[in-house]
Amino acid sequence: MFDFRYHAVSLVAVLVALVAGVLLGVAIGDAGLVSSAEKSVRESLRGDVDSAREQRRETQRNLDAERRYSTAAYPLPLPPMPFDNFSTNAYGLSKSGMIYMTKMMSRQAGQDGVRVNAIAPGVTMSEATKKIVPDFAIKGLKAGSPMGMTLEPDDLTGTAV
């Protein structure tokens, strides 16, 4: 029933395969196949990082040139402020869009005798505005205003009927 020779031969075959695998692994490691592949991967990654850094530098140069142009072409009565507050930008963009839409609707509907109007005051110094707008910005708003002052909530009273 139990054949010792079969099990002994199987065990010897497994040990021979194990020794051959270890020797083959050592030979491959000594031949530099693994280290050359690692070197190739490192060089490729280094090239990708260098390329990304150069793209960043080029993008920064373009951004700086755009800022210089914008500052020269569109001087502001306010000191430069970072535009990282999306809600402020979104408000200004949506307000500009509403003004333009009102003008376009007025042109189209005016042909049929329909009037289209909008009330779009500038920054109004409400209590909420006074809490979030810094003093230097308020001074800039006053300096950039034709009348040298800001809008107060009472200035808008009675505008719409």
Residues 6+ positions from 102 with CB-CB distance below 8 Å:
116, 117, 118, 120
Burial class (CB in 10 A: 0-12, 13-18, 19+), 45: exposed
Token digits for 103?
Answer: 């003008």
The pLDDT score that the predictor gives to residue 107 is 92
Instruction: Return the pLDDT at 94.
Output: 83
Predicted pLDDT of residue 161: 64
Residues of the chain with confidence (pLDDT) below 50: none
pTM: 0.35
